[in-house]
Structure 1
């Protein structure tokens, strides 16, 4: 992709993001508000942190999807399918069970969700590592199996959660972007920015790995160490996002593939562009959820919107994947 085309792509993406943020803070479950009265300013002040959460959540999941697809050499890899998101959800559910240990239940959920993501990563690596190497295909298959196991455990633990907390955990598990104050999410924003930058700094090595692990090795890249670093970065990022919003699937699959459809494959461009586009995608999805609430009186989870879009995309990718290998 030429430098001019790259600049245009970034400008368009940033413009769409700014437009989405503007509409999302002005329009929602209470309708359109004005910035020229005190009530409107108050509503915008409540909506903006939620829009910011949608931005960092979507951007994080998208950039993690790009990185995982590169290191596993598989276009279907993303935190949701790999099992890291499932581990974070399991950890968060356990955090709710032990909520009495914390003065603030939200803090307990975040700590346990973050820990669950990290522990699930090391478990998946332990299962798949042979002779110091990770098999990318086995890693993805193990993640799918692990997700099924985690789903069963979460269902079991839900039965043990006090009735007073059941609605909260159901909302969180279904993928829900809550209202926060800016002060509530400062730490998460800093972590997301820091580890996203670390991923972008790996761009050149990820480009070499995308061509093939043999090419990367002959170019001086320590592939296994690169994979370990990226696994850690993406697990931290996924743990942070899931601890806030619960399980939002398919973002790391839809957004990178959508950008690649425009022949953008250089990770130096793809990673930051995916962050911007992923944030925009989730902001729009969350806006749709709030507009449904405005019209129908109930708010669907954001994961329902991402799944409606993501499931057909996954089917299309699977079909193309097998066709390339002489399948159906």
Structure 2
């Protein structure tokens, strides 16, 4: 199909992803940056999983949370980057209709799960820090492994159930305008905008999901950290306050790295009509790439037990 394909069809056999329109001349350099971030994300998250798996002392609630985050990051980046790189390197822009809806589901489902981990599970992490600071004697009885499993299951089910209507509605709309998606991956609103029907249901449901997931999660995070800050400032010495605040600083960095570009991407896609398209698409890709790349770096550097175990493995490998 050509890029100018506009015909009367109900369900197109393929869609055409434009990549990042307006920056075609810079595809090689952009792909180098994206590929580097992808490799760092893959290696970093696999290292986190390997270290936690092989070190019995890390088999605890906080580290299980990190494993859930690592698995989500691996799926989220892999659902978009291979296709994006094929657009950059081989001009392979066509994607099957069913594959597009599958990618749409995985991107939004695991983005929702990521939000759940960086919010719902991060709320649990906040609870983890709060219990460790305020009720250290009850730590092992409140945050147990079964509790971690229940939190993880709830986050996954929430992501799946809320996003399942996206591809279902996508198959019901008639597409008779064009099969060209002005994006680098199958984003929900970018796809349904191609339908020649009233897409208010999809649009309003997307807003509902965004506010329900991210809005409530941000409220829960704010409430959790309010309690943590109260606990920190109640500590008797300045050194104790600084040390305790340091245990939460990595958590705050990851939250900012995820929510700031995500919020910007969400607002510009719906309301930022004057924002250049290539800038919006770049931000949308950074939103899916930067947090998965930063998560293992931030936690690997700031979490002493993970850092020590990694250094031990490197020394052992070097010695052999």
TM-score by length of 2: 0.30
- Greater radius of gyration (CA): 2
TM-score by length of 1: 0.30
